[in-house]
Structure 1
């Protein structure tokens, strides 16, 4: 068996009541639920949310 790292990029646009982008990203990282399920031939070992933000006018 081989281990591979897959980078899956997802863009999420949010409307936030927080005062700053840092607070928005922190809350999103802490409270958002996401999951990836294993298949018969591929076992998910670990997932991690890598979040960053951009200010759009």
Structure 2
């Protein structure tokens, strides 16, 4: 198994977090995205979603 540096995903001015998902070569490969839930607790927001490719 090859070691690599994790990809860091940042949205706007928010701090980055390691990406743990499957990557696409181009955003046009994503056919749909559905946000299923948004939770906020103690100032931390979690977004749950599914993506169709």
TM-score range, shorter chain: under 0.3
- Give the structure with the higher percent strand: 2
TM-score by length of 2: 0.27
TM-score by length of 1: 0.26
Larger Rg: 1
Ranked by relative contact order (alpha carbons within 8 Å, sequence separation 6 or more), the top structure is 1
